[in-house]
Amino acid sequence: MFFDFLWLPPEINSARIYCGAGSGSLHAAVIAWRRLAQDLQETASSFHSVIAGLARQQWTGPASSSMVAAAAPLTGWLTAAAEHAQLSAVQTQGAAHAYETAFSATVHPAAVTVNRTLFATLVATNFLGDNAAAIATTESVYAEMWAQDAAAMVDYHTKAATLASTLTPFSAPPADLTNAGHAAVSSLMSIVELGIYPVSFMTSPLMMLMSGARGATAGLGTAGLGATGLPLPATASVAAGWPGDPAAHCAGTRKPGGRPGLSASG
């Protein structure tokens, strides 16, 4: 794949990056990762506060010790997951930056089309060799476009591959949060029946906490930066089947974030 970009003409390399999805989805993923990291950290803090608060009050004995011991690894996992989500946000931001750098360094497809049209016109009207110098100049510009696109795509591929190589999956939680919550509430209810605490005081914090934990951790078992759609550029399939003028197949062109309407001069 690395060397494919060197062999592909600017008609292909430019069209691919300008007609692609853009970096908008990556920026949206950055926001989502940061929000998830915040939710996980808040859940970990709430979990720790509720358990520590109950253990410091009149709830003592084996049930209290068991609950504190069970909560410790869950709190640690939530904290670690929050840090992992924040790291994923940083990695996704790096992927967006890599794409936008390549986008900015790539020749606009319209400029390539203008060059090829001019070349064809000069060749067609070169009856007495008067256009020889202009043809050579046009070809020289085209060669520079080729080299510029190839360099941009090779750099993009290198950065994207480096980011992908650093991805790590989220670790599984030490215990099912839902079952842990029900077990905790069951233990608390046995104490409530003895009249030590009012039911509302004992059950409300943990039930609310378990609900928040389920929401914050949903889907983490398969989460990873790859799910954000890191736009690693493909090569051979498009090169073999791209028909006609690349610019004609982009209904307008795109800005780095995926918004249509970038002109050849802009």
Domain residue extents for the chain: 4-220
Yes or no: domain 4-220 corresponds to CATH 1.20.1260.20: yes
Amino acid identity, position 193: E
Q: pTM here? A: 0.67
What percentage of the chain has pLDDT greater than the value 70? Answer: 63
Residue-level pLDDT at 72: 83
Band of pLDDT at residue 263, cut at 50, 70 and 90 = very low
* Distance of alpha carbon 156 from alpha carbon 150, whole angstroms: 10
Locus of tokens 């599984």: 172
Residue 181: per-residue pLDDT = 52
Average pLDDT, integer, range 159-167 = 92
Evaluate if residue 151 carries a pLDDT over 80.
yes
Beta-carbon neighbour count of residue 66 at 10 Å? 13
Phi, psi of 254 (to 5 degrees): -120, 150
